[in-house]
Each structure stands twice: as C-alpha cells, then as structure tokens.
Amino acid sequence: MDRFDLYELCTQTPALDVALLRAIHGGAPRVLGEDFAGTAALSREWVRTVRGGRAIAVDRDPEPLARARDAVRLKGTARPRGVECVVADVRRVARKVDLLVALNFSWCMLHERRDLVAYLKRARRRLTRGGCFVADVYGGDGAFMRGKLREQRRGPDGERIVYEFEQREADALTGRVVDALHFEITPRRGRRVRLRDAFVYDWRLWSVPELRDALHDAGFEKSEVHSRFEHARSGSGGGGGASVHVRPLATSQKLGRSWCVFVVRRR
C-alpha cells in the first residue's frame, strides 16, 4: 500500500457518504461533481452504486487522479466506468452536475475570501436546476489547538495500520492551520514502515458563518447545515442509501465539543 491507499482506507467512507449526500439532495441526482477530488474515491463509489450515475472528478494534481484512471487502488475495487477525471483548477471547470461536493476540507486551500467567493460562484453556475453544493468543515473547542489524534485500522491483507492526524500549527486570529497525516504499517510478516508527513496541508479554517456568508455572496439562496456523521445514526437501505433520512441542524447543541459538518446550499 502507498500513501494514497492509506488515505482512502483511514480517512474516507465513500459508501456511507454517497448515501448521505443523496439523501441531502432529496431528489434523484445522476451526475456528481467531485472537486479537489484526489483519487476520486467518492466518484468511483457513486458510479458503482447509483444506477446510471456519472461523475466528474477534478483536481489540479495529476498524480492522485492517475490512480483513479488506472485503477491502481485498494485490493478488491473494480475499474470505474462513468468517471471522468479532469486535471484542472476547480475554478476553471464549467461542466454541469446535479450535485457538487468539496470534501475533506480541501476547499480550505483557498485562503482569501475573494478566491473563495469566486470558486463558489463557479460552483453555482455548474449546478443544474434543483442541484446543491456541499462542503465540509470542522470546528469546536479543539479546532485551533495543536495536537495529535491516533487511530488504528486493519489493511486488506491484515496489516496493522496506525493513522495519525497532527495539527501542527494553528492560529485562531488568522484562521490558518497546518495539518499533517502520518501512517505506520506493520505487516503480518516483514518490517514496520513509517510514512511521516504523507500529506501536509496549509489551510484557512473557515467558520460555518463565514462559509455561509460567502455562499450567499456567490448567489446561493437556501442554506442548511448537516452533521457530517449523520449516516452513523441513519438507516442504510439498499439502492445507494435511498432509505436514509436526514434533517438539517437547527442549532449547534447536538454537535458536541468537536464536530464536522456539511454546509449545503441549493440552487
């Protein structure tokens, strides 16, 4: 396994996310747009589970997108059909989609508000009538605290994997954070492998009100906030999660001290 395999295994839940995103949309979206897509894990799951589904995965880095195109991924996955991989700046893409997502906080690479609003204006123009845009963001008591979080996983061949999320730098006055992902892999046989700084991010951690204000200035009207982990409490029926029921948050009281949410705007 390389760093992209480890990222998918330790940080992403595409099957659960597809079900939740379809429920949030509320209609029958067929074309997904995945901005800042990386290895396009969400797009691949979308075309696998949504009947007649297509996806447009956009990232300016050709290396992870090549993984999606060449099907060099975790053991047991199939080559996706219906996923179009586009190497480009997300602010230059105009292809229409029913549901456009910017997940894993990657949109936070846009540090200046004018750049964020410009991206959101382009996002709005890409949506078909009735479409929606979804971005995730984290916050809470520890949002601007330095520290590390460690979790353990099992790899496809029984490897023991330790995943570490490190918030290396954080400044609440500017909103800037530097986050790093580290991995340690111990196979059933062989030597332990450590990948330090497998991924390092310099982000502007926007708040929910800041993002909602920017969305409003970009021309979006209706706004909702959903728990990022709502799928953990929802039913998971067949057909890509058609029986999942979601409800927007009215206040932050149910989020807890640390949280991650989807901010949703509809066209």
- Domain locations along the chain: 3-139+205-266, 147-204
Residues 6+ apart with CB under 8 A from 265: 124, 132, 133, 212, 215, 220, 221, 222, 223, 224
Confirm or reject CATH 3.40.50.150 for domain 3-139+205-266, answering yes or no.
Answer: yes
Q: What is residue 234's predicted lDDT score, i.e. its pLDDT?
A: 52
Instruction: Tell me which residue of 39, 70, 76 sits closest to 55, measured CA to CA.
Output: 39
Q: How many CA atoms lie within 13 A of 166 on its CB side?
A: 13
Q: What is residue 185's predicted lDDT score, i.e. its pLDDT?
A: 97
pTM higher than the cut 0.85: yes
Q: What is residue 184's predicted lDDT score, i.e. its pLDDT?
A: 98
CA separation for the pair 38, 58 (Å, rounded): 8
Question: In the 3-class helix/strand/coil scheme, how is 41-109 assigned residue by residue?
Answer: HHHHHHHHHCCCCEEEEEECCHHHHHHHHHCCCCCCCCCCCCEEEEECCHHHCCCCEEEEEECCCHHHH
Q: What is residue 240's predicted lDDT score, i.e. its pLDDT?
A: 43
- Average confidence score pLDDT of the chain: 89
pLDDT, mean of residues 26-41: 96
Percent of the chain with pLDDT strictly greater than 90:
78
CA separation for the pair 55, 84 (Å, rounded): 6
pLDDT digits (tens, 9 = 90+) for 104-140: 999 999 999 999 999 999 999 999 999 999 999 999 9
Q: What is residue 255's predicted lDDT score, i.e. its pLDDT?
A: 78
Q: What is residue 247's predicted lDDT score, i.e. its pLDDT?
A: 85
Q: What φ, ψ does residue 98 adopt, rounded to 5°?
A: -85, -30
Q: What is residue 233's predicted lDDT score, i.e. its pLDDT?
A: 52
Give the CA angle between residues 99, 102, 108 to the nearest 5°: 155
pLDDT, mean of residues 142-152: 95
Q: What is residue 243's predicted lDDT score, i.e. its pLDDT?
A: 54
Two structure tokens written together for 109: 């690479």
Q: What is residue 80's predicted lDDT score, i.e. its pLDDT?
A: 59
pLDDT digits (tens, 9 = 90+) for 184-238: 999 988 899 999 999 999 999 999 999 999 999 999 987 899 988 776 455 544 4
